[in-house]
Chain A
Amino acid sequence: MPRPGFVLEVDRSTPPLLFWRGEGFSLERLPAGRTRVVYGPEPLDPVKDVDGTIRRALLEPVDSDPLPALLFPGMKLTIAFDDVSLPLPKMRRPDVRQRVIEAVLDLAAEAGVDDVHIIAALALHRRMTEAELRHAVGDRVYDAFAPSGRLYNHDAEDPDNLSYLGSTPNGEEVEINKRAAESDLLVYVNINLVAMDGGWKSTATGLASYRSLRHHHNVSTMQQSRSFMDRHRSELHHSNWRMGQVIQDAGVTVFQIETTLNTDIFPEPFGFLAKREWEWSPRDRGTYVATTKALKRTPERVKRKIFQSMESPHQMTGVTAGAVDAVHQLTTERVHQQQLVPVEGQTDILTMGIPYICPYNVDSIMNPILVMCTGLGYYFNFYRGRPLVREGGVVIMTHPTYWDFHPVHHPSYIDFFEQVLADTTDPLEIEARYEKQFAEDEWYRHLYRTSYAYHGVHPFYMWYWGAHAMQHVGRVIIVGGDPRAVRRLGFTPASTMDDALEMATDTVGRHPTITHLHTPPLLLADVQ
């Protein structure tokens, strides 16, 4: 029986705590008597019969006819699936998307459906490579569909393959993939790694264009999403749900399939990274020491390659299919079951170790903007109720924060970092003065469509992702980061955790309370 998450009060007997630092980690001692550590629940038991559970979900959906009843000869069927940003790290084969898509295709074949397209719903993310597509959907599906042009990446900049469906009562334009919009049935295959994922966000974001996305991927929306991990208090989700209504009203039938995974993310011998420190065995401690020493002598590129090649053993804890709303409600309950941790009250200082990966640097570089996004966008927002850190408090992250960018994946990030952040770090000013230039830049558009580049506007969205946190906290300190890069982000560099805690007292006073978010694995703090 997996143990639930809990909050540890640090005392003199508490061993040093694990902090991720990009492609590495450190053990840090935090002050006893005023520090607490939030641990997520242990990985839930997976479903035993994955394929059987998937098939059952398709045949017994919620709030919908069974999938076979929606399939008929001569119909247009489109299967969209979450892109390379999920799950993290990538899961061992077979990927859960492959299993679901194969099950859907089996039913489609039984129903005599021939016209099937499979689309990676990547919105403004980079295109998936052949290897990544094969990993997600499996070789059998890839070989059956890709050569004939029926398995491909969504292109949010292809005007000939986008459909404008109308606008919401709030004036939000809804424009999505034309094939999906014009299909008799759109099956969306989702992975819900965090509570933010899924629901109408799948279609209204994953298959949308910039024209549509700009209505919710903006500073105002993000600052009114408290947090975007809590759908009912997230303006991001309200907007997506309004768009979902437009999609439905336009006659698009969506059959939503949402899967959830457990948090068993580290393969052996790195399983100790998910353990509570006092439960480390002598072997775990030895592995930690050996790994840390080896990593110190390893060049950055090699370290990156080692970590990025890691495949997680995480397994499916459930799958639900049917109508979007009903499905998503059940999915969110399962995500909460895996990740929710009750936490009493806020803290003065929130500490977090930033790992080597986030949704936007798979097989790539965790550049400074993504460090910010992971810390202030994702980790800060891993709350329900109130932020873990009080208003005006301090966030301390640990990460090397190299001034380093992947030139193919993140070309517009380089310009954003060098040109925009050199001018201002204020999200509202950035949005007003620079977003349009980047979003409509022909070169970025070309690279997004033909290479493997994130869209020109994507670094802006990353910056907006942190807008709520930037508005809320008084100071951000990065321990161990390249000082120039950290300052460019508008944050304060610190050499050690002790230095950072000392610096933080300027903002929150002497003897502040500290909370360490012990993640990954992912968790969601239910702050009461």
Chain B
Amino acid sequence: MKALRIERSLARFAAARVAGSLAPGAGAAYGPLGIDDVDPPELPGPEWVWLRPRLAGICGSDLSTVDGTASRYFEPIVSFPFTPGHEVVADTEDDHRVVLEPVLGCVARGIEPPCVACARGDLGGCERLAFGDLSPGLQTGYCCDTGGGWSTHMVAHPSQLHPVPDGMSDEAAVMVEPTACAVHAALRHPITEGDTVVVLGAGTLGLLTIAALRQLTPAGTIITAARYPHQMQLARTLGADQVCEPGALPRVVRRLTSSLAYRDQLTGGCDVVLDCVGDSDSLAQSLAIVRPKGTVVVVGMPNQVKLELTTLWHRETALVGAYAYGLERPTAATGDEARRTFDLAFELVQTADLGRLVTAAYPLRDYRDAIAHAASAGRRGAVKVVFDLREEKERIH
């Protein structure tokens, strides 16, 4: 079968890092990613099933891996060679469409009893990501045993599968996983009625987070900064009240929160920032625009950052991470009972018509173009770039 794979090669990771620093996405041409004819992965256990991916998204974390900039923190919880692709809508062997929930928690790993986090449904917090029946891998798409969405065949545990409702397009279905991340991020910190919330970043994750905030929380004013006109337009339609250019953000926050300022430092600020970028600049800006005792939720995958933390100390800012999904506690918008993040994501994708964010699709063989497009999506007027495997020859046969 055809599969894109990441090999463990320090030289290639170094080359990718250099290439990626010159042009985002260029790591696809020089780095550890390659297209291979490989044997399909074996079923890791009797319950496991075969999947034939239909669409598989390219995510920011995939791009950082391809460009060799991902944190070395992940080394113990990935296994090489692996096929990326964790945003997946696929066909089962009996031709049912499913969306993959990619976290490889205790149930998928055959670990009994499950860890404390998995036992309470907090899949993203699984403490056994390198143990059990599978090789290390925090998710499908980072594990050498499961394959991934950037191929024509992969395997999955039934606990990872969510049936796609009739009438839901593949484009909408492939947005469920990133939407689940956004839902979890929006619900990670309790947002109270009327809170002013800033979303940093207006790429896929930022836009989905805006939609999740608007639909699932009682947030008051939602502010975001966007570089490109299509991002601004989408941010508004998905629920942002004020969209500005990045350089204007501190001034927008100052004005809308009736803050004063000491030179460039705000005396107040917004209640919550959801940083969907996760680099030094965005985190520094998050700390600068959040009010004293406010909360910064790190949604975008960060790497090593250099950060002035005096403001965090002085203003008693809470800095929390938001990774993946699991079980969300009940809120006024989600009902009286805890619900799986993916269930909320399915609903949000449909109500907010999030399938429209899929703006470009490539066959596997054009993976370099696809990666380059995804890495410069904003500049090129795109949001979500996916691999379209529906017409792949090997998949059809």
| A interface, CB within 8 angstroms of B | 414-415, 418-419, 422, 437-438, 441-443, 446
Among the 9-residue stretches B21-29, B60-68, B250-258, B273-281, the one with 4 or more Cβ atoms under 8 Å from chain A is B250-258
Contact partner of B252 (CB less than 8 A), chosen from A415, A441, A443, A446, is A415
Q: Considering only CB atoms and an 8 Å cut-off, how many residues of chain B contact the other chain?
A: 13
With an 8 A cutoff between CB atoms, is B248 at the interface?
yes
Closest to B259 in A: A443
Counting chain A CB atoms within 10 Å of each CB, the highest count among B242, B252, B255 belongs to: B255
**Interface CB pairs A-B, < 8 A, 22:** A414-B251, A415-B248, A415-B251, A418-B244, A418-B251, A419-B242, A419-B244, A419-B248, A419-B251, A419-B255, A422-B245, A438-B255, A441-B255, A441-B258, A442-B258, A442-B260, A443-B254, A443-B255, A443-B258, A443-B259, A443-B260, A443-B261
Contact yes or no, B248 A418, CB < 8 A: yes
Which residues of chain A have C-beta atoms less than 8 A from B261's C-beta?
A: 443
Q: CA–CA, A438 to B251, complex, Å?
A: 12
Which residues of chain A have C-beta atoms less than 8 A from B260's C-beta?
A: 442-443, 446
Closest to B258 in A: A442
Q: CA–CA, A414 to B255, complex, Å?
A: 11
Closest to B249 in A: A418
Counting chain B CB atoms within 10 Å of each CB, the highest count among A438, A442, A443 belongs to: A443
Counting chain B CB atoms within 10 Å of each CB, the highest count among A422, A437, A446 belongs to: A422
- Interface residues of chain B: helix, strand, loop or mixed (majority): mixed
Which residues of chain A have C-beta atoms less than 8 A from B248's C-beta?
A: 415, 418-419
- In the complex, besides A415-B251, A422-B243, A442-B260, 7 extra interface pairs with C-beta distance below 8 angstroms are A418-B245, A419-B251, A419-B255, A437-B255, A443-B254, A443-B258, A443-B259
Distance (Å) between the CB of B270 and the closest chain A CB? Answer: 15
Q: CA–CA, A418 to B256, complex, Å?
A: 13
Distance (Å) between the CB of B225 and the closest chain A CB? Answer: 11
Closest to B254 in A: A443
Which residues of chain A have C-beta atoms less than 8 A from B258's C-beta?
A: 441-443
Contact yes or no, B254 A419, CB < 8 A: no
Contact yes or no, A422 B244, CB < 8 A: yes
Distance (Å) between the CB of B226 and the closest chain A CB? Answer: 11
| B interface, CB within 8 angstroms of A | 242-245, 248, 251-252, 254-255, 258-261
Q: CA–CA, A422 to B244, complex, Å?
A: 8
Which residues of chain B have C-beta atoms less than 8 A from A441's C-beta?
A: 255, 258
Closest to A434 in B: B255
Which residues of chain A have C-beta atoms less than 8 A from B259's C-beta?
A: 443
Q: CA–CA, A441 to B254, complex, Å?
A: 10
Q: CA–CA, A418 to B245, complex, Å?
A: 8
Q: CA–CA, A443 to B255, complex, Å?
A: 8
Distance (Å) between the CB of B60 and the closest chain A CB? Answer: 27
Which residues of chain B have C-beta atoms less than 8 A from A422's C-beta?
A: 243-245
Closest to B252 in A: A419
Q: CA–CA, A26 to B261, complex, Å?
A: 42
Q: CA–CA, A418 to B225, complex, Å?
A: 12
Closest to A445 in B: B260
Which residues of chain A have C-beta atoms less than 8 A from B252's C-beta?
A: 415, 418-419
Distance (Å) between the CB of B336 and the closest chain A CB? Answer: 37
Q: CA–CA, A437 to B255, complex, Å?
A: 8
Q: CA–CA, A415 to B223, complex, Å?
A: 14
Closest to B236 in A: A423
Which residues of chain A have C-beta atoms less than 8 A from B242's C-beta?
A: 419
Distance (Å) between the CB of B245 and the closest chain A CB? Answer: 7
Which residues of chain B have C-beta atoms less than 8 A from A443's C-beta?
A: 254-255, 258-261
Closest to B261 in A: A443
Distance (Å) between the CB of B289 and the closest chain A CB? Answer: 14
Closest to B242 in A: A419
Q: CA–CA, A443 to B257, complex, Å?
A: 11
Q: CA–CA, A418 to B251, complex, Å?
A: 9
Closest to B256 in A: A437
Q: CA–CA, A446 to B261, complex, Å?
A: 10
Which residues of chain A have C-beta atoms less than 8 A from B244's C-beta?
A: 418-419, 422
Which residues of chain A have C-beta atoms less than 8 A from B251's C-beta?
A: 414-415, 418-419
Q: CA–CA, A414 to B245, complex, Å?
A: 12
Which residues of chain B have C-beta atoms less than 8 A from A418's C-beta?
A: 244-245, 248, 251-252
Closest to A440 in B: B258
Q: CA–CA, A513 to B242, complex, Å?
A: 43
Distance (Å) between the CB of A216 and the closest chain B CB? Answer: 26
Q: CA–CA, A418 to B255, complex, Å?
A: 12
Distance (Å) between the CB of B68 and the closest chain A CB? Answer: 35
Closest to B260 in A: A443
Which residues of chain B have C-beta atoms less than 8 A from A438's C-beta?
A: 255
Which residues of chain B have C-beta atoms less than 8 A from A419's C-beta?
A: 242, 244, 248, 251-252, 255
Q: CA–CA, A419 to B248, complex, Å?
A: 8
Which residues of chain B have C-beta atoms less than 8 A from A446's C-beta?
A: 260
Distance (Å) between the CB of A223 and the closest chain B CB? Answer: 27
Distance (Å) between the CB of B266 and the closest chain A CB? Answer: 9
7 nearest CB pairs, A to B: A418-B248, A443-B260, A415-B251, A415-B255, A419-B252, A442-B258, A419-B244
Closest to A417 in B: B248
Q: CA–CA, A419 to B245, complex, Å?
A: 9
Distance (Å) between the CB of B176 and the closest chain A CB? Answer: 32
Q: CA–CA, A441 to B242, complex, Å?
A: 17
Closest to A416 in B: B255
Distance (Å) between the CB of A435 and the closest chain B CB? Answer: 13
Distance (Å) between the CB of B42 and the closest chain A CB? Answer: 55
Distance (Å) between the CB of A436 and the closest chain B CB? Answer: 12
Closest to A443 in B: B260
